[in-house]
């Protein structure tokens, strides 16, 4: 269940990362898995943002006009992407000590 104001994707990501973090003592490969997921999600966020902005630019050029609504939507896309990246960076900063030894 999603709490108010938080991104559902971020909550799911945090739950998975917490699970992996708690079980790294029993399986060392989970440390790699945790790092992989963080990097993949960061990359996915970047790719999704680029796709969304490109599709908006394509729509603008096909219409021949530029709407203020589209600019606002681009701003919202960028804000959401930065929010997700900031979340992932905070996870990296609070990563377990095992990360530094590998």
Q: Is the pLDDT of residue 97 over 60?
A: no
State the pLDDT at residue 96.
Answer: 55
State the pLDDT at residue 57.
Answer: 79
State the pLDDT at residue 102.
Answer: 47
How many Å apart are CA 85 and CA 9, to the nearest integer? Answer: 12
State the pLDDT at residue 1.
Answer: 56
Q: Is the pLDDT of residue 39 over 90?
A: yes
Alpha helices in 1-102 (DSSP H): 8-22, 29-63, 68-93, 98-101
State the pLDDT at residue 93.
Answer: 73
Q: What are the pLDDT digits (tens) for 63-83?
A: 655 555 556 578 888 888 899
- Return the axis-axis angle of helices 68-93 and 8-22, rounded to nearest 10°: 10
| Token code pair at residue 67 | 């709407």
């Amino acid at each position: 269940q999603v709490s108010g104001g938080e991104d559902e994707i971020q909550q799911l990501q945090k739950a998975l990362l917490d699970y992996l973090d708690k079980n790294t003592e029993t399986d060392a490969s989970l440390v790699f898995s945790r790092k992989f997921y963080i990097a993949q999600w960061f990359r996915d966020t970047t790719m999704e943002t680029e796709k969304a902005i490109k599709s908006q630019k394509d729509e603008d050029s096909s219409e021949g006009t530029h709407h203020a609504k589209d600019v606002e939507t681009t701003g919202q896309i960028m804000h959401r992407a930065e929010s997700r990246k900031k979340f992932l960076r905070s996870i990296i900063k609070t990563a377990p000590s095992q990360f530094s030894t590998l």
